[in-house]
Structure formats: structure tokens, C-alpha cells
Amino acid sequence: MSNSRHRGRGARRSAIRGIHGSDDARAAEGGRRAAGAHRGAFGEFGGDSSGLIDRAFRERIVLVGMVRPDGDAAATDASLDELSLLVDTAGADAVERVCQRRAAPDSATFVGAGKAREIRAVAEEVDCDTVVFDDELSPAQQFNLERILGRTALDRTAVILDIFAQNARTPEGKAQVELAQLRYLLPRLRGAGSRLSQQAGGIGTRGPGETQLEVDRRRLERRIHKLEGDLRRIAGHRRTQSKARSRTRNRSAAIVGYTNAGKSSLLNRLTAAGAAVEDRLFATVDPTTRRLELPGGETVYLTDTVGFVRKLPHHLVEAFKTTLDVVRDADLLVHVVDGAGPDPDGAMAAVRRVLTAIEADCIAELVVFNKRDLGPGAERLAQRVEGSVAVSAQTGEGIAELLGVIGDRLRQTAREVELVVPWDRGDVLAGVHREGQVIESEVTEEGMRIRARLDPGSVGALRPYLVNATRALDDSGAHAGSHDQRRSQ
């Protein structure tokens, strides 16, 4: 296949998703077209699609991975298998893969000039349109690779951003994805160099002026600042809601886990939420919150969050911080793991790395091994991990046990206080039994002396009956404000 075919396709590719029709869109489009870079939904039919993978043209992709001296070839193959699934979700077909053993990435071409020419030969042999690298490429590496390969070079980050652009539905989700895309694109505009300049070199063109590259860069930076401001306002609203919720008697739990582990299916099973469920990566981008009644009578707000993945792009984590605040504000993390997956331990480790990055690793965690109906793997894993539960969100197996464990874990996170309830306040006594866990009770002349675990909202409402009320309320306030402290850090 001639290189002109690839250049022609690159020239028809549309601007980054989410900013079509604006001056910023035209700036971004000019930058990417001039750079020969690839965008949104893999191919000329993807630009303004709704994100459903139903296209008349599916690009052919060559995948490239690197095995380091201290690395494992099997781990690299597993990562490329996942990248192949990501490419498929984005609407393309992985037709070949290339692996290289190398001590360290080459600063100019990532794989080295010789290996890049070898990849070009493979790409021409299989008639591919794009080469996707499993690791993040710098703007200079991407530019040099495209020049050698004669076709578009992408990295894993670009693929994930494309999938998120397809699946974002709410205004907040779309703004977060667009912000991540623009942050990814901005340094790559600089790499385009003089090809974006509209100035010529003849008489009458010298002197003060502004290149098209500078105009495009400034427009993108303006758009980034606007999106950051919008998301800061959303984060402020979320903080206000979080503070109000911490003063109530309702607790919150966040469902976290690796992408396609069955988080949305579990939310639907527990709450009849009706969330969209698909057997593919990153089907859920926008969080969904539903009210859940536990067997003990307690109410908990359960939120389904975006799935995590290995090598999750830094741009995406930064842009989704307002959404991930839902995780940081939770009283309990329900960590869903695919019990029938090929590498549950690796998936759990990847999720916990992201939780550490967003400062949510200190929150109580309940591990739930899903897909119990697909084999014995989930039950074997649950026996190995203390305190975990094996369930099937599809059939409902183990759900009753899960609800009981969620209630127990939430009660364990409550504050332990001591109260004296007068004999004529039977309603208060009943409320303590209903809203908390009574550990010990004793009959006294003043009334019933009770030691119980209660959530911060209940502690505040029972202030007149607390023993050593100042200390108990200080402890409760510190507990309620811990989420705000984590966020401010």
C-alpha cells in the first residue's frame, strides 16, 4: 500500500471529540491534521458518532509492546491482550503485534530507529492503518515514529481517551473527557512546529505577527481554563452535598473495581438502578447513585463509578478528580473483582494503585468477587481473601450475604459512644437500637446506660444523652470531616 493512502486518510480525520463547531475545534483540527495525528473513534467515520461501535470502516491496527530486563514477557502479552480489547472497544481491529526486549525506551523513537523500520515493514505487510504502542509516547517520539512509519502512531492513552469520549453522556462527563483530551493534545500541537505557521518567507511577510500555531495553542489554553473552572464549580457543589450528607444519618458506599468486572450489573442487582450494562471495557463513565435499604433497616447511598485499568492515563485521573471525589467521600469501598478473569490479583493491584493516587486508600474496603456463576474461581478467591464475598450479579447468588456484610462493615466504621437514656424516653432508646449497634447496656437509676456504635449524624442528634458529650462530638466531627481533610491534602 502506498503512503499516500495513509496521508489521505489522516487529512480527513476530524477534530477532537466534544469541541466540534467552535473556534477551538478548528484550532485543534488544524493542529492534528497538520501533525498527521489520529483522533476520536479510529477513522474517518468516527468523528461525530454517538460512540456506539457500529462503523462502516474499521481500521487495522498493529500493536507494539516492550519487555524490560526486569519485566515478564507473559505480563507484556497480557497487557497487549488488554490493549487489543481496548482497540476493539474503540472500533478497530488488532491484526498483528510486535514485542521488543529493550533495556530502556529510546528517547527519539521509543523502540529505536531500526525497530521502527521493522514495524513499518510489518505494517505494510498486513496493510494496517495505525500503529498503537502499549506505553505512553512523548510528543517528539510520536512525531518521529509517524515520519518513519508513514502512518499514524498512537499510544494507549489516546485509545482510552477515545473510548471515554464515546461513552461520556452527562455534561460533567463530557467536560472531563474533553479536558483530558485537550491536555493530551496541547504539547502535541507544539510538536507540529512550523507546519502550522501561516507566515511565508517573502517580502511583506516579515515583522511582528503571530503564527497559526500560537493562535491554536492560545485557543486550546483558553478552552482548558474554562473547563477547569467549570469542573471546580462542580467540585464545590459536590463538597457542599458531601457536608450536608455527613450531617445526616445516611451512609455512602462506592463501587470500585477494574473495568468490566461487573460493577454496573451489581448496582442493578442491588438497587434495580437500570444502569446500562455491556460486556466491554469502560461501558460506564458517568457515576450513578441509588438508595439501598440494608437488611438491618439502615439506608446507604450506593454509587457506581468509572472502571480502572492498568496504565490509566494521568490526564484522565486529573480530569476525573471531581467524579472520583465520590470515592474519597465514601464510608465504604465495595471493590468488585472479576472472579473468572485471567489475572484477578493484577486487577486488584491496579485498582489499589489508583485509589492510592486519589488518596482513597485509607477508606474501609470490602472485596467482592463477582461472576460466581462462571466457575469456581470466585469462591476460591473469596476463601483466600479474608472478609471477602463471592457473588453473581447475573443470577443473584451470594447477594443476601453481601448485603449483610455491607451492613456489618458500615457499623464497624461508626463511632463508639456511651449514652444514658432516661426511662421516660423510650423513643430515643428505640432509635439507638434502630440506627446503631448496641454493644452493651446497663440498668441504672437515671435510665438505661448504653455503649453503642453510631454514625456522626446520629451522634449529633443524641447529644443531650451522651456521656462526656464534648469528647464524643469532637471525635464524631473529626470523623465526619476526614473526607474534607483528605480532599484538601
Residues 6 or more apart whose CB falls under 8 angstroms from that of 196 comprise 30, 31, 34, 189, 211, 212, 213, 216
Q: What is the mean pLDDT of residues 256-278?
A: 85
Q: What is the mean pLDDT of residues 78-100?
A: 90
Per-residue confidence at 477, pLDDT binned at 50, 70, 90? very low
Q: What is d(CA 297, CA 461) in angstroms, rounded to the nearest whole number? A: 18
Residues 6 or more apart whose CB falls under 8 angstroms from that of 145 comprise 109, 110, 116, 131, 133, 137, 153
Domains of the chain (ranges plus CATH)?
A: 3-188 (3.40.50.11060), 251-411 (3.40.50.300), 414-488 (3.30.70)
Q: How many Å is the Cα radius of gyration of the chain?
A: 27
Q: What is the pLDDT of residue 456?
A: 66
Instruction: Give DSSP secondary structure letters for 465-488.
Output: GBTTHHHHHHHHHHHHTHHHHHHH
Name the least confident of 11-20, 259-268, 350-359.
Answer: 11-20
Q: What is d(CA 376, CA 373) in angstroms, rounded to the nearest whole number? A: 8
Q: What is the pLDDT of residue 8?
A: 35
Distance from chain centroid for Cα 7: 33
Q: What is the pLDDT of residue 200?
A: 44
Q: What is d(CA 412, CA 271) in angstroms, rounded to the nearest whole number? A: 23
Q: What is the pLDDT of residue 57?
A: 67
Q: What is the pLDDT of residue 436?
A: 73
Q: Are 458 and 433 in contact (CB under 8 A)?
A: no
pTM, entire model: 0.71
Give tens-digit pLDDT for 413-466. Answer: 777 888 899 988 888 888 888 777 788 888 888 889 988 877 766 777 788 888
Residues 6 or more apart whose CB falls under 8 angstroms from that of 183 comprise 224, 315, 318, 319
The region that residue 131 occupies, defined by phi over 0 for left and psi between -120 and 50 for alpha, beta otherwise, is beta
Q: Are 131 and 153 in contact (CB under 8 A)?
A: yes
- Closest to 66 measured CA to CA, from 138, 136, 141, 143: 136
